[in-house]
Structure 1
């Protein structure tokens, strides 16, 4: 087969297309899909932020990685691609929700009911979230991440360049978007069931604190890692 025929072959075109994707972008997209699913599972646990008495749902940790990944992609590959990834993130969210409903609806084995009843109850408690929480999560997800990328990208045009500028932009965008995320999620999930004031204030303070303390360094590291990965691409 000639070089022209090889280049025109469908398989060769796919290979070229795959090779054209930056290595760091490919890795971050894979990580992004995993974090969107994991965030909803680990959010069941509340953790204390030592040495304070502030508590935050553990889903904030994978969610902050989503913030870091989208900010890194916006920094290196553009705001448009970062926004597209956020919308595509609904696919693993929807598929994981559908599979969870399927698994919860299937009858457990007799052996599990007899010998592992406590494990079954724990499994159903963690994954059997209420419809309000299931709706609140995606609403907070899409709004806060799009806001984060928008603020992060807008600040890039205000002279915030270099490593320090990158850290400042990351901290500001993450802190503001996490505050909005807390307001949306807690209001949609729990408003009317109990007084959400204390929970809301605590979550906003905790998430903003984590955003300021962790995100600047994570974004700087994420950008540096992406550049290194792309430099090693064949």
Structure 2
């Protein structure tokens, strides 16, 4: 007698697009991080324009799909950054064509990429995993309530460590310590402020994804080791 077959498992429909957008934001951030801007006395790297989107996507991944899924996407984003820095190094080393006169401009604009990328990669890993860990733990502790509070709290922790690590690794020795501290506080406040301003977008997006995917991750029993790719 034939045994009844198990019902087909429907894979999440939006996980891959979100992961793709997440990785794209990381690469854009690496390129923009080389410019330091100042508006109204507030100093910040231009990456602040888009980098907080990675935390928004990280929040969505952890809240809807769970820490284990977010962990895989974070490592995938790290791999994309490695590909970018290696590709840039090869491209910069290639001899320019005689009629192409922009080699110096190319190196000037992207020349800081290796140090910035290495700093960004290290800070990104620590910051993203802290953000996901705090968010998942708070969700368990608060029984899934107070989503807005949990999103902000996880960002406060993750962005503080991310900003401090990135600025120290990327600009130590090139900027005075006092300026690094001022820049770090400014960037951190901007990122946290960005998270708060984005709540009218992130909260409905999370609620919509939970309905559409039929998912609301519960990380009870999850192994939170960032180096373990299995659930």
Task: Give the drift of 1:69.
Answer: 0.9
Q: 1:47 to 1:229 in 2, by over 3 A?
A: farther
Distance in 1 of aligned mates of 2:211 and 2:97: 49
Unaligned stretches of 5+ residues in structure 2 = 1-7, 215-231
Q: 1:21 to 1:121 in 2, by over 3 A?
A: farther
Moved more, 195-204 or 77-86: 195-204
Select which of 89, 114, 118 maps to 1:135.
118
Task: Give the drift of 1:214.
Answer: 3.0
Distance in 2 of aligned mates of 1:157 and 1:111: 61
The question of whether the paired residues in 2 share the 8 Å contact of 1:140 and 1:181 is answered with yes
The question of whether the paired residues in 1 share the 8 Å contact of 2:128 and 2:158 is answered with yes
Select which of 19, 25, 34 maps to 2:15.
25
Report the equivalent of 1:198.
179
Count matched residues. Answer: 206
Q: 1:160 to 1:63 in 2, by over 3 A?
A: farther
Distance in 1 of aligned mates of 2:78 and 2:41: 34
Can you list the C-alpha shifts for 1:181-203, whole angstroms capped at 9, x where unaligned?
Answer: 12111212222344222232333
Select which of 35, 58, 61 maps to 2:25.
35
Q: 1:95 to 1:158 in 2, by over 3 A?
A: same
Distance in 2 of aligned mates of 1:104 and 1:25: 34
Task: Give the drift of 1:55.
Answer: 2.0
Unaligned stretches of 5+ residues in structure 1 = 1-15
Task: Give the drift of 1:78.
Answer: 0.8
SS in 1 for 2:44: strand
| Structure richer in helix, relative to its length | 1
The answer on 1:172 being equivalent to 2:153 is yes
Structure ID, larger Rg: 1
Q: Aligned runs of 1:55-204 on 2, under 5 Å? A: 55-113=43-101, 117=102, 120-129=103-112, 131-159=114-142, 161-162=144-145, 165-204=146-185
Higher relative contact order (CA 8 A, sep 6+): 2
TM-score, structure 2 length as denominator?
0.78
The question of whether the paired residues in 2 share the 8 Å contact of 1:56 and 1:207 is answered with no
